[in-house]
Amino acid sequence: MHVEQSRDIPPSGITPESVWLGRRRWLRQMAAGSLALGMGGLARASAGDGPTGPVLPAPPNARWSTTEKPNSWHDITTYNNFYEFGTGKGDPAEYAGRMRLRPWAVKIDGAVGKPMTLDLDDLRKLAPLEERVYRLRCVEAWSLVVPWIGYSLSHLLQRVEPTADARYVVFTSAVQPDVMPGVRQRILDWPYVEGLRMDEAMHPLTLLTFGLYGHDLPPQDGAPLRIIVPWKYGFKSAKSLVHIRLQAEQPVSSWMRAAPDEYGFYANVNPSVPHPRWSQATERRIGTGFFASRIPTLPFNGYAESVAGLYQGMDLRRNF
């Protein structure tokens, strides 16, 4: 209760935020004369782009939340990388709605004492849901601030009783070829596979995520459940999970397989290790308008205090 009161605006009440943000942006652009360039956001102020879908309430967790202003629902749900649905940023919003979300089951097996298959309702009830406002940094050098809803993955992992062999966790995303145009294009080896080291997966920041802005995760953001690892580049946070496997060997992720020189296993946000395609020193915060300058990228996406210890003694240039 105290936590709730300490926040001026509960994130679930930010529905009109996109509206006033848009209005502010419009005013700023007017002032800067950008409408002469034809790049004003006239329609933004009127677009009804607040959260939609079934409500999923959860109290905010201030301990693990940033106080930065979350992006609008519109930004978070129209600008996505979800290659199963195509490589365009707008493709997921256009096509992901066709994904079959019910029934949904997740198999958890491998180096565990109690392998199990849980449906979505079981998974949601496994631990109390909470809202966490995380920064999300994409490897393409843009970022968002997102109010996710979920619980620490460690709750689920403890439930299946990992054995001594459980050193890595492998996440596998759903494949529904008939509704996923990107899967038919063979951009990657499907299904999408990602992985974490066990200590990374057990870290309280690693969030098993079911919702966004007080609602169910929209399909384009990885419905019905995904992983969120806020100190790593976005591609590490696999969407629409169907299988979680614990094992002794380090897995080869989809992106490592596709371009081993460009995508490593760790993919920790690191401004001093440039990607062959993007400098990682700065990032563009989505939704800050035409004239906002790029902001410096922080080591571990600003979560160094909590997670840098996991990598003590490791050469992060080699283990990129």
Partner 1 sequence: MRSGVWLRVGVHAVGLFPLARWVVLGATQGLSANPQEFLTRSSGVWALALLWAVLCVTPARRLTGWTRLVRYRRALGLYAFFYTVLHVIAWAIWDRGGAPAAMWTDLWQRDFIGVGAIAVLLLVPLALTSTNGWIRRLGRWWRRLHWLIHPAAVLSVLHFEWMRAGKNDFLEPRIYAVILAVLLGVRLWWWWENRAKQRFDQHRLG
Residue numbers of the site for partner 1 (CB under 8 A)? Answer: 37-44, 47, 71, 74-75, 78-79, 87, 89-90, 142, 185, 187-188, 258-259, 262, 274-279, 281-282, 284, 286-287, 290, 293-294
The residue among 125 and 184 lying less far from partner 1, judged by its C-beta, is 184
- CB 275, CB 283: distance < 8 Å: no
The residue among 41 and 251 lying less far from partner 1, judged by its C-beta, is 41
Closest separation between CB of residue 51 and partner 1, Å? Answer: 16
The residue among 25 and 124 lying less far from partner 1, judged by its C-beta, is 25
The residue among 32 and 187 lying less far from partner 1, judged by its C-beta, is 187
Element (H, E) at 109: strand 105-110
Closest CA to 124 of 154, 158, 87, 156: 156
Closest separation between CB of residue 297 and partner 1, Å? Answer: 12
The residue among 126 and 286 lying less far from partner 1, judged by its C-beta, is 286
* Biggest CA pair distance of the chain: 65
- CB 265, CB 320: distance < 8 Å: no
Closest separation between CB of residue 45 and partner 1, Å? Answer: 10
The residue among 39 and 164 lying less far from partner 1, judged by its C-beta, is 39
42 burial level (CB within 10 Å; 0-12, 13-18, 19+) = exposed
The span from the CA of 310 to the CA of 308, in Å, is 5
Closest separation between CB of residue 207 and partner 1, Å? Answer: 22
Closest CA to 138 of 203, 204, 72, 89: 89
> Which residues sit opposite 144 in a β-bridge?
136
Neighbouring CB atoms inside 10 A of 54's CB total 7
Q: Which pair of structure tokens corresponds to residue 225?
A: 């459940």
Closest separation between CB of residue 275 and partner 1, Å? Answer: 8
Neighbouring CB atoms inside 10 A of 128's CB total 10
Closest separation between CB of residue 234 and partner 1, Å? Answer: 13
> Which residues sit opposite 216 in a β-bridge?
211
The span from the CA of 16 to the CA of 45, in Å, is 10
Residues in the chain: 320
The residue among 76 and 196 lying less far from partner 1, judged by its C-beta, is 76
Closest separation between CB of residue 119 and partner 1, Å? Answer: 33
